A = this chain, B = another copy of it.
Amino acid sequence: MHSQILFDHGRAARIGLPEAVFCEGKSFEAICELLERFGPKGERSILFTRLASDIFARVPEKISAGYDYDAVSRTAYASGLAPKKTATVAIVSAGTADAFVSHEAARTLSYLGIPFELFEDCGVAGLWRLTEKLEAINACGCVIVVAGLDAALASVLGGLTPKPIFAVPTSVGYGMACEGHAALASMLVSCAPGIGVLNIDNGYGAACAAARVVLQLAEQRAVAL
């Protein structure tokens, strides 16, 4: 009962974002087949997410050779899309423990050809770390905030920036952190207004949401000129 996956190739035309491959839960054989299919000699390059380093290490050299792989974000792609002239996306994270998510967002933007800047270790238990970067953050066109535990960073930053802002809770922590559900709830009930929240650990989704915004900004500007 085997058959090739039916990709939604019209997606990029419809919504400006091409389909991606979520690797977790797929068999090793399926992953190799897809890496080959969308590799340098295959169909149009595609983004692979949640591709663990120990799995990528087992992929045959002749397939993996054509790929740009990043272990922290667990992402891979053969070649990125053409760079876009959009506003920069600020990615602000609470701690280095959140890097697997903030870097997933960063790599997704890299693949999409959208400029970004990373601001890490801005957790509010030491407020000065955030405030000294605020001006640079507010110079960007859209903000992604990544935090686990109490996710207080989202509320504090949401009260300091007028930019479109997307928040990603992370599964960092234990006990009542509840694998990121505490952070998710905090972000959804934030006392700062107008924050769009993504699923736990979904750095990819946050990048897509930010992309929708800066691509729209770019289109708007193109129309205006």
User: Which among A17, A151, A213 has the highest number of chain B CB atoms within 10 Å?
Assistant: A213
Q: Which of A38-46, A57-65, A177-185 participates in binding chain B?
A: A177-185
- B196 contacts A189, CB within 8 Å? no
- A125 contacts B202, CB within 8 Å? no
User: Which among A11, A25, A72 has the highest number of chain B CB atoms within 10 Å?
Assistant: A25
Q: A15-B162, A163-B216, A196-B197 are in contact. List 8 more A-B contacts (CB 8 A).
A: A1-B72, A17-B162, A176-B188, A182-B185, A193-B204, A195-B196, A224-B224, A225-B225
Task: Knowing A155-B152, A212-B165 are in contact, say whether A125-B189 is a contact too (CB < 8 A).
Answer: no
Complex contacts, A159 vs chain B, CB 8 Å: 11, 14-15, 124-127
User: Which residue from B149, B173, B191, B194 sits with its C-beta under 8 Å from A208?
Assistant: B194
Interface size on A, residues (CB 8 A): 103
- The 9 nearest A-B residue pairs measured at CB: A196-B196, A194-B208, A175-B200, A8-B126, A152-B152, A125-B159, A182-B185, A6-B121, A16-B162
Quote the shortest CB–CB distance from A66 to chain B (angstroms).
21
Whether, in the assembled complex, A171 has its beta carbon less than 8 Å from a beta carbon of chain B, the answer is yes
Task: Knowing A6-B120, A30-B96 are in contact, say whether A189-B161 is a contact too (CB < 8 A).
Answer: no
- B175 contacts A171, CB within 8 Å? yes
